[in-house]
Amino acid sequence: MEAAVRHCRFSPLGSLSFDADIRHFVGFIKERLWSPKYSSTPGLYASCQPLARLSQISILMTVTDLDDVLDIMRRSKGTWNLSNEDSKAFLTLRVDFEAKKVNELLRIDDK
């Protein structure tokens, strides 16, 4: 699923729709797993890294201001699975975010 997301472009409204889909997907999975270990979202994410990454991608995609990205990443320190390169790649999928500003924010040089 992550690979498919990398081939899309998102408007602000599209990113909200993507976030809603991921939340629905997580809820669907939690309903079908009958283990106390998976009854909490953090427990589920700890057990399923691809699902945790998708959730983090949706969080990144729904930011309204690029300045919030670093705050989100710092707040999730220790549980954040996306590298700066991954974060940059997903943020540049938003049609309203300029790649240059994303690079400056995450301090990544253009290649």
Mean per-residue pLDDT for 72-99?
Answer: 89
> DSSP secondary-structure letter at 76?
T
How far apart CA 22 and CA 19 sit, in angstroms, is 5
* pTM of the complete model beyond 0.75: yes
Residue 108: what pLDDT?
57
Asked if 91 and 102 count as a contact pair (C-beta separation under 8 A), the reply is yes
Closest CA to 81 of 49, 106, 59: 49
Tell whether the model's pLDDT for residue 29 goes beyond 90. Answer: no
Tell whether the model's pLDDT for residue 35 goes beyond 90. Answer: no
* Residue pointed to by tokens 């959730």: 55
- Residue 26: phi, psi to the nearest 5? -65, -45
83-92 pLDDT tens trace: 889 999 999 9
